[in-house]
Structure 1
Amino acid sequence: MIDVVLPCLDEAAALPWVLERMPYGYRPIVVDNGSTDGSARVAEAHGATVVHEPRRGFGAACHTGLMAATARIVCFMDADASLDPRQLPRVAEPVLAGDGDLVLGRRVERRPGPGGGGHGWPAHARAGNAVLAWRLRRGAGIPLRDLGPMRACRREALVALGLADRRFGYPLEMVLRAAAAGWRVTEREVDYLPRAGRSKVTGTVRGTLRAIADMRAVLASHRP
């Protein structure tokens, strides 16, 4: 069994597609982060384990899901249908095989997404992600092209890293702490689909700038 943490804020429209495509042996843990659209009820109706995190914050939701997980391997992915759960083995199997310690999905844009429409990857968000990945390669020697939200690692090892950020810096802190601990950080290509609805982060320039500010704070606190 592999646990899959899905931080969730108002994703009722996307959850059925996401949960119905969860591979056999992968247990979805939906972390409701204060949804008002009935996301928790939808997740439960589709067989997911639902936990609640009232503190708003992407990192808070991710970490609550990590604490609720019990499997040896844990995956993370967005719940907005921009990533196909059927591709989770692409990031989980290298960890299972001992070929990597933290494996991220490098997003490659594909069309169409679920339902044939939706919102793609905005240019401002794609550019911000590229700059962060470049800084990781140049400043920390971490061979990543994308700070992808689909990822896999060993649960107990991740807990031991002691991640502290509870905002949008959580995914970046995970990579930085893993690399500092000597983990093998790699990536595999996964499809990136037009998501259902507009992202709370990348859907607006303001949201993207807020996420970048959180990540810059994490970078500053982890300088050698």
Structure 2
Amino acid sequence: MTFPPPRDVDVVLPCLNEAEALPWVLARIPDGWRALVVDNGSTDGSAQIARSLGATVVHEPRRGFGAACHAGLAAALADIVCFCDCDASLDPSLLVRFVDEIRRHEADLVLGRRRPQSRGAWPVHARAGNLTLARLLRRRTGLRLHDLGPLRAARREPLLALGLTDRRSGYPLQMVVRAADAGWRIAEYDVPYLPRSGVSKVTGTWRGTWQAVRDMSRVLQETPAHEGGSPR
């Protein structure tokens, strides 16, 4: 029996009822990369659509953005793992630059700073919550980041070594905090942010934004006690 050659990049796409957005997102996965669509309990046929479009589908019954992201990370096999929302607000083809920087060992974690392309792309309450968290992150770690957006790339094994435990909205922030505590080089680049397809499950409402801020605030109270090392 022959096996396909290993792919060096996996893209984790947490998914909850994104049937409308999936064709656009999956069409923009760079050639040779593997799309890992993590179905988080969709009822609109998202898993079937993703599979029909060539994606690998991972089922994660435990609800939560972090639960879906971490299930994708655990299922990944590639050396480099990327993360991208599955709602067509971000173009996964932009990850090529991120991956190139990781491959050149110029950064250990690369993040996308969302730049709204229209007035409705990023609600005011969601932007305000993100700004508050970025300021708290700077106070906690010294990192001068502007965004905690979901578009990002890093090497798989060092990510797993961070021992991420949050399974809710705090997952992206916990990744940054623990990477900073471990001495990672973290880079940030502007990326276009488009109006998403459908309604956000996290920051689409004031209540959702408040819950996300609460989740992330708990992460910022962590003490740097883990032993995850630098990927260099």
Percent identity of the aligned residues?
Answer: 64
CA–CA separation in structure 2 for the residues paired with 1:161 and 1:67 = 13
Alpha-carbon deviation of 1:223? 6.8
Contact 2:102–2:108 (CA under 8 A) maintained in structure 1: yes
Where does residue 97 of structure 2 map in the other structure?
90
Q: Partner residue of 1:154?
A: 155
Give the TM-score, by structure 2 length. Answer: 0.91
Name the residue aligned to 2:208: 207
Does 87-96 or 182-191 show the bigger shift? 87-96
> Quick one: distance in 1 between partners of 2:137 and 2:74?
27
How many residue pairs are counted as aligned between the two chains? 218
Equivalent of 2:45 in 30, 38, 45:
38
The 8 Å contact of residues 181 and 224 in structure 2, kept in 1 or not, is answered as no
Structure 1 residue 21 displacement after superposition: 1.2
Q: Could you tell me which runs of 5 or more consecutive residues in structure 2 were left unpaired when the two chains were aligned.
A: 1-7, 226-232
Correspondence 1:172 to 2:173: yes
Q: Which residue of structure 2 aligns with residue 75 of structure 1?
A: 82
Q: Distance in 2 between matches of 1:41 and 1:70?
A: 22
**2:26: which partner in 1?**
19
Contact 1:111–1:193, Cα closer than 8 Å, also in 2? yes
Cα displacement string for residues 33-81 of structure 1 (whole angstroms, at most 9, x for unaligned residues)? 0000000001001110001000011111111100110000000010000
Question: Residue 183 of structure 2 aligns to which amino acid in structure 1?
Answer: G
Q: Which amino acid aligns with 1:107?
A: R
Query: Quick check: 1:2–1:26 contact (8 Å CA) kept in 2?
Result: yes
Q: Runs (4+) of structure 1 moved beyond 2 Å? A: 221-224
Distance 1:46 1:26 in 2: 14
Asked if structure 1 preserves the Cα contact closer than 8 Å seen for 2:140 and 2:220, the reply is no
